[in-house]
Chains A and B, each alone.
Chain A
Amino acid sequence: MSSSAGAPDPPGGDTRPNTGEATGYAPVTAQLLDAGAQTARRLLGPWWNERSRRALFGVLITAGFLVGLVLGLRDVYDRPVLDVGEPRVRVEGLTATVQVTVRNTSEDIAYCPVVGVAALDRDGLDLAKAPTSVDLGDARLAPKASANFVGVLTGISQQDFDEQLSDYAAFVEQENPCP
């Protein structure tokens, strides 16, 4: 039986939880910890030993690694159906005009997306945000078709322009498959 249930014992290490018995102390904390450990030990019975802990840890590590890897790879290959390009920006005074190309990668579905643009500060928060309209092309994105969307960002102060504005972003707010 291990010396503790909350934290497993090491091989060959300092495994002994001190209950204060040997020193004459009667610490409430230690007693509570040990009471918890004993309760867990009682509930888990003979199953909670070094071997079962090692097995549980092995399962956790293996499963965690595999799940993380699979989900990560899936996300890498599972891209959004509407591909938003890099925003192109023209700044005049305190007004920024942001243009972005959106491409429908679907083979068979047409989309009528709602696209927005934003100016971001250094923390990734919005300094300004605006809706866009189609500049070139059709607002109805047929399969494999592209369109340019343009939005105008205003209301950014000179100080924010100088000190905070870090980046521009374009994003699909709603994909909206066309009827």
Chain B
Amino acid sequence: MVLTPAAAERVSALTPTLTPRPKFHVTRKLVGVPKWPLVLLTAVYTINVSDQFLLSSMFPLLKREFGLSDTALGILSGSYLISVTLGTVPFGALADRYSRTRIIAWGTAFWGVTMIFTGMASGFFMLLLGRMVLGLWDPCDNPTSQSLLADYYPVNQRSKVMGIYQMGQLVGFFLLPIGGLMGQAWGWRATFFFFALPAFVVALLSWRLPEPVRGVQERRHQRLESDESTVIASKLQGLSIADAYKHILRCRSYTASLVSSAVGSLFFGGIGVWTPTFLIRYHDLDIAEASTAIIVVALGGLVGVLTAGNLADFLTQSGYLSARIGVAGIARVISAPLFMAAFLVSYTPLMLLLFSFGALFLVGALPPLNAARVDVLHPDLRGRGTSLDAVTQSLASAASPVIYGIIADASDLRTAYLTLIPLAALAGLILLTFALASYRRDEQAVQELVRHDHARHVARLTGDGQELEEPVPMASHGSDPGAGTAQPLTGDHDAAASAEGVESLLRIEGLDFSYGPIQVLFGIDMTLPQGGCHALVGRNGVGKTTLLANIGGLLHAQSGQMFLRDQDLIGIPPEQRARLGITLMAAGQSIFPSLSVRDNLWFGGYHFAGSEGLVDDRLDEVLEVFPALGQRLGQRAGTLSGGEQQMVALGRALVAGPDLLLIDELSLGLAPTVTVELLEVVERIAGLGTTILLVEQSIGVALSVADTVLFMDRGRVSELGPAAELDADALALRLLESHE
């Protein structure tokens, strides 16, 4: 599965041949992807940014109410910034390990709670505690959201997506005056309470966000798989913090972007603080005019983030594969002479115009740079990489106003600007040299890692252990861990299974399921050992098919737990369960009647996309088992007899090579002779190591093929024991009694 360098070059994530080349539009919309996750994450960003300076706009009110000194107010501001910095790195690590949507949901909810707590403060120390805790929650969104966005949206739209997301920050800044007005009208406490309310709304919506699989867009872009729900483990997931950062910093283009951000922040970190003063000193504006002018020219940033994001994606798809770094670097370089001119001219409107364009280019560099940074970070390291960048920028931005002040004291403010503006050009040049030189190589290295992980995953599925560093035992063909042996099925099965050295494959605990108000499954407890064929018998309507549908993921239980080995299945969609090794053969309608036999069989291997040879091999095996199908490969499956249709369904299950095969009513509507033939195949599949759970109404069929028998009545499962020890008549009688 490891591609040659030439092949890797061909299928690299940014290769334009894989995507259509669109025409460039500044406001081109996202195509073919859901927009609401982006809108929601942008809203979260806006809310988190909006509070950053809320406290300072409340200073006069706080000062009067609590009699605080200026030093105390400074401590409140500083403690918040320290907390944000301290919280960023842990949240980055969490984002790489746990569910990102839930991190955002919980983080934003606690952010709202902390805002309310702050609003209830009765003194300085409560205020201080509130601000420090708030600072810890604040970074829950940025590293997490960037990692999420990279997995939500296609690689070729990443820069544009980052641009829209970046708007959240700018909009958050523009909300600050609203906080000030609310404070004056209703008091500072009410302002904090009301600012908390949207947080609860977006937290609730974030909870509903689907959690994409890490790296799924890279896999999709390389066409490694057609489905995106398979979780593929990578070596990088389990790295220690130190090793993870070592790995991240070994990426030259990332490190160059980090240095560029730090250098650039030393310049633009002080712009917001000092430019009003500059306008007052050198352009005779009063404070209100200067503050308004800054807000107006900052609107240039909004245009910048949208334009540059689109432009970088457009150029990338047009064949300039390093365009993201290129656009970011050029934008920063261009911003420098614009700022230089702005701070030299004396005509105020021209100064503001030049300043606007400078802001447009400076801020416009962020989306393509963020996208490029994500490109060169492995999907399992993006949270940490993004958080490291955020910390670096924070520290440099915090130092920037001080540097301006020192230079201004030593000389004057204009000299300070003229001294520091070249740092913007330097930041751009770092990108255009060091980052540009290694970006493609680093980006391809990430693609290669993703491909390698995918190859290992496929090797595991096929049982080809040679490619694995640590082969994972699978119930795939060729292995026979427990086939044909009868293992206990319920109660203390874990203990029993482990005592006999047999792993449990499926474990269900307390599963309840209802169709609306009608409960069908009642606290199902059940454990299937790995290997063997296990029959589930019971009369009509007791919940057998419902139980299978729950295991297969077609229905979702209201409560209870379900594990395939140690994999929690609750919440996992059916297609992902299929990839985990569960195949459901539904009763009666388990083929696609309008498709040919060949296509039906091929469907069994849809999750082996990229491994067509493997599917071909399995297809040949199926035709050996069912030679009759070999003559009818081109025939529409719907025109086959009932028995032949079941053969196709079983054949498709063989191609899938599941660990757990769920068969619902195999004998339904079939002649006894056909049933016998199919049962032989079922035994053969079980003999290959696949665990089978067979739902049957026919006692004879169940006892003839199963190793063990489970009995289901009124939504509850109980164990009957090994099939060989059961009496068919007694079982039939019990079945009849359960009807009464």
Contacts and interface: CB of A to CB of B under 8 A. Distances in A.
A14 B211 contact: yes
Given A71-B189, A75-B187, A9 B287 contact: no
Contacts of A93: none
Interface of B: 56-60, 63-64, 70, 73, 93-94, 97-99, 101-103, 105-106, 109-110, 112-113, 115-116, 119-120, 186-187, 189-190, 193-194, 196-197, 200-201, 203-204, 207, 210-214, 229, 231, 233-235, 237-241, 243, 276-277, 280-281, 287, 291, 380, 469-470, 472, 510, 558-559, 561, 563, 567-568, 570-573, 576
B193 A14 contact: no
Contacts of A122: 276, 287, 291
Contacts of A171: 60, 64
Contact of B193 (A24, A51, A75): A75
Given A22-B233, A57-B106, A65-B200, A125 B70 contact: yes
Interface residue SS majority, chain A: mixed
A76 interface: yes
Contacts of B570: 9, 50
B203 A61 contact: yes
A120 interface: yes
Contacts of A33: 97
A169 B235 CA distance: 60
Among A3, A29, A173, max chain B CB count under 10 A is at: A29
Nearest to B280: A163
B59 A64 contact: no
A117 to B, nearest CB: 11
Interface string A1-14: 11110111111111
Nearest to A4: B98
Nearest to A58: B204
A85 interface: no
Contacts of B58: 124
Which 4 pairs show the lowest CB-CB distances between chains A and B?
A13-B211, A20-B238, A124-B59, A10-B211
Nearest to A19: B238
26 contacts: A1-B563, A7-B99, A9-B571, A10-B211, A11-B211, A12-B576, A14-B99, A14-B212, A18-B233, A29-B93, A33-B97, A46-B510, A60-B109, A61-B204, A64-B113, A65-B201, A68-B116, A72-B119, A72-B186, A72-B197, A125-B73, A163-B277, A163-B281, A164-B287, A169-B60, A172-B64
B358 to A, nearest CB: 22
A17 interface: yes
Contacts of A10: 99, 101-102, 210-211, 571
Contact of A18 (B97, B189, B211, B573): B97
B239 A25 contact: yes
Contacts of A92: none
Nearest to B113: A64
Contacts of B240: 27-30
Contact of B63 (A30, A69, A126): A126
Given A13-B99, A22-B470, A76-B186, A7 B571 contact: no
Interface of A: 1-4, 6-25, 27-30, 33, 46, 49-51, 54, 57, 60-61, 64-65, 67-69, 71-73, 75-76, 118, 120, 122-126, 162-167, 169, 171-173
A49 B243 CA distance: 32
A17 B571 contact: no
Given A61-B204, A64-B116, 20 more contacts: A7-B103, A8-B99, A9-B99, A9-B568, A10-B210, A12-B576, A13-B213, A19-B238, A23-B235, A23-B237, A23-B470, A25-B238, A46-B510, A64-B109, A64-B112, A68-B119, A72-B197, A75-B187, A171-B60, A172-B64
A67 B472 contact: no
A161 to B, nearest CB: 10
A6 B58 CA distance: 35
A23 B695 CA distance: 37
Contacts of A167: 60
B60 A23 contact: no
A13 B116 contact: no
Contacts of B94: 6-7
B194 A24 contact: no
Nearest to B108: A61
Contacts of A125: 59, 70, 73
Nearest to A173: B64
B571 A50 contact: yes
A72 B214 contact: no
A73 B186 CA distance: 9
A24 B109 contact: no
Among B70, B99, B211, max chain A CB count under 10 A is at: B99
A54 B56 CA distance: 36
A164 B201 CA distance: 38
Contact of B572 (A12, A17, A51, A65): A12
A72 B190 contact: yes
Contacts of A67: 116
Contacts of A164: 287
B571 A18 contact: no
B233 A14 contact: no
A18 B567 CA distance: 12
B235 A25 contact: yes
